[in-house]
Structure 1
């Protein structure tokens, strides 16, 4: 019988739907381990994860989207592959996306992104979120039931990021449908070509940028279009379009899945609902713990640019590294009772649910705000939230996670809502 460590993370449906036993089996072999027959390493240790994500000179983010399981477009040679990497960068999937960028190009674009999520903009966005949540949750509670993922989570976070960016109201449904019809990033059932959401959104975003040049508005797309880097140069139009699409796509995926993952704990533990209703200030701490124990992003990937060592293991230049964020967040060397949800853990914000280093999620403050607000509305508007047993006769065991090597999220979740 094949052992857990011999199974393939990228193609095994059961592991993709529930990776924790697999990562624990790997951890038994040390905080960084090369599975038998694989050409990549997997990092499960918390400190080792920080080392890899913070060392940008040694590790490139170029394989963040395609993952450690995909082949490289060249054969690495020597103890330093920076020259080869630069020569072949355009051949990597998503090479022009900010999440895959390195060095100066990433630094300049990321500095631009960081200016967008200022407190004043987030406060204005929270006003929209509050009003929109009131409508969505109110309608669901009035009906007494709802399918959380498709009817609430995805449209909610999509509308929030659309409002922030400045996507016209008439186009938002088009984007929501494109995203809803496509599997999540990293799915075994992934969409390619013309059906991919970015392919659908591309022509729209080019149009938005052209429009904002002539007709500035009070939105992020306008700021990006008229932005200037610190050195006085201006971003390429292509970079602005790619950034806008990435912010739209990434913003809805992770936040929508976080909402579902967190709700699972509330229906599984009714006493937790009562605790949060009695003290809504605990909702933020609850969400941080969910980000640790069941965050939306399971992993990212890095490519070693030069020979190095992590956790006592030698990593040759050209090695691919799967950084298992969900495993690092359950590393028993860092967290007591790592597999238990405990509100109020010390230093909980040190989790790596949003990554770490230069590529840490820039939209984390927005994600925290939008999911916190909708949970406040759900809990204030109800006296009980439970699974719809007609749809899920087996209870929690019926909930199915999507088979993505990147995203941890439920496919569906039908709820019954008892009004307050």
Structure 2
């Protein structure tokens, strides 16, 4: 299922009705039009539980309620609950979401993203320099993880020596989403990492208050909602968590999936090498076909009927982006990568409407620059493994390759 979830989505779309998924305690929507309708109706469908019942906050809630939870883990879980009680961005509904988004929009304007391109290109070349002479590399660990991690760390003012720790924190926050079977040891490690993150950025916030710089953290501290109300400490920490996760995992998956598609289809690779204008087109098609975030959750604010099914008020709804992006009614030849695809339907890899991903321009920039750098520095790239041996993360929410061994010539 993790490797090819699309085989399961097709029959669900044909059924046309929301399907109750006991394991995630949600009604799954798989059709493009139904999902877009929910995304465009924030007054009827709340984003309060956007990461779903398997994410870190619900896990913390269960730990606090369990009398068998040890004192240290209980304290860490309670801290998570206290901080996550502050509703920001991903979990905020209008009008609060609209006001908060205006505070951080300036960090993601087209002009600022364009200005990042030279530094992102230097980063891509530096990463390639480390292994280009070897003739082989494992793309995920040696490139796809490091590129977006470095970019978001720089945006947040995290120094290079902290980057490995920064990545470990990101992994911890993501571990609670999409996996419903974490063991006791993994849960303890997860909350230890969450605590470290909070401690580190609590100190950095205090430092930036005294000595502001030009990074996003300083901008968040100085921001004022409606021109007068500053963000609270917990709101800032919650916002930083979202930037950390969004700026890391999805772009790692995208870079790797684009390369896997290229090395698996020699004709496509040749076409892209011959015409680099196709690189952004391929990126959009891979976003659609191999959607990094397979879905997101909403909560019904009222009783609603979708596809003939009555969904009670308060129910979780899982919007399966990965299915919508292959919906036959929204896309011609939905399972094919087409370099001539018109915009007959916009993919949902970055969402739509009020909560369209803030970092989409940066993800697209990193993917375009990263793939072009590989093509510039090599004459041939091939998979250094059996395609059937490529493993994916065991997650229903994330679609990501764990390792991608490559062989290349320069």
Provide the TM-score with structure 2 as the length reference.
Answer: 0.86
Q: Residue 190 of structure 2 is aligned with which of 186, 195, 203?
A: 195
Q: 4, 20, 26: which is aligned to 1:34?
A: 20
Q: Which residue of 2 aligns with 1:3?
A: none
Distance 1:37 1:139, change over 3 A: closer
Within 5 A, what are the aligned runs for 1:234-383?
A: 234-347=230-343, 350-383=346-379
The correspondence of residues 102-141 of structure 1 with structure 2, limited to 5 A, is: 102-141=93-132
The answer for unaligned runs of 5 or more in structure 2 is: 62-79
| Secondary structure of the structure 1 residue equivalent to 2:277 | helix
Name the CA distance, whole Å, in 2 between partners of 1:310 and 1:265: 35
Instruction: Report the Cα distance in structure 1 between the residues aligned to 2:217 and 2:21, rounded to whole angstroms.
Output: 44
Residues 51, 317 of structure 1: CA spacing in aligned structure 2 closer, same or farther, 3 A cutoff?
same
1:139-180 per-residue CA deviation (whole Å, 9 max, x = no partner) reads: 332211111111111111100111122112232232124446
* Alpha-carbon spacing, 1:280–1:92, altered in 2? closer, same or farther (3 Å): farther
Q: In structure 2, the residue corresponding to 1:354 is in which secondary structure?
A: coil
Do the aligned partners of 2:331 and 2:344 also contact (CA within 8 Å) in 1?
A: no
Q: How does 1:46-61 map onto structure 2 within 5 Å?
A: 46-61=32-47
Residue in structure 2 matched with residue 384 of structure 1 by the alignment = 380
- Post-superposition Cα deviations, 1:284-313, rounded to whole Å, max 9, x if no partner, equal 011000011111010101110101222343
* CA spacing shift, 1:361–1:193, aligned 2, 3 Å: farther
2:8 is matched with 22
Contact 1:164 1:220 in 2 (8 A): yes
Alpha carbons of structure 1 residues 378 and 349: separation in structure 2 relative to 1, 3 Å: farther
CA contact (8 A) 1:65 1:94 kept: no
Structure 1 contact 205–245 (Cα < 8 Å) conserved = no
Partners in 1 of 2:189 and 2:172 — Cα distance? 12
Counterparts in 2 of 1:95 and 1:42: CA distance versus 1, 3 Å:
farther
- Asked if 1:401 corresponds to 2:388, the answer is no
Shift in CA distance, 174/91, structure 1 to aligned 2, threshold 3 Å:
closer
Which of residues 31, 36, 53 is equivalent to 1:45?
31
Q: CA RMSD in A?
A: 2.6
Cα offset for 1:244? 1.6
In the alignment, structure 1 segments of 5+ residues that lack a partner are 1-14, 74-89
